[in-house]
Amino acid sequence: MASNRRALVTGASAGIGEAFARELARRGFDVVLTARRTDRLEALAAELRERHAIEAIVAPLDLARTDAAEALVAALGDQGLHIDVLINNAGYGLTGYLDEQPWEAHAAFIQVMMAAPTELAWRLLPGMKARGYGRIVNVASLAGLVPGSAGHTLYGASKAYLIRFSQSLALEAAGTGVHVTALCPGFTYSEFHDVNGARPLVSKMPGYMWMDAATVAREGLDAVEAGKPVYVNGRMNRFIKWLFKVLPDGLALKMTERQGRRFRVRRERGGQG
As annotated, the active-site residues are 155
Backbone angles phi and psi of 208, in degrees to 5: -70, -10
Collect all residues with Cβ–Cβ distance below 8 Å to 42 and sequence separation of at least 6.
58
Cα–Cα dist 135/225, whole Å? 7
Contact 112, 65 (CB under 8 A): no
Of residues 82, 83, 85, the one with CA closest to residue 135: 85
Cα–Cα dist 150/145, whole Å? 16
The HSE-up count of residue 12 (CA atoms within 13 Å, CB side) is 30
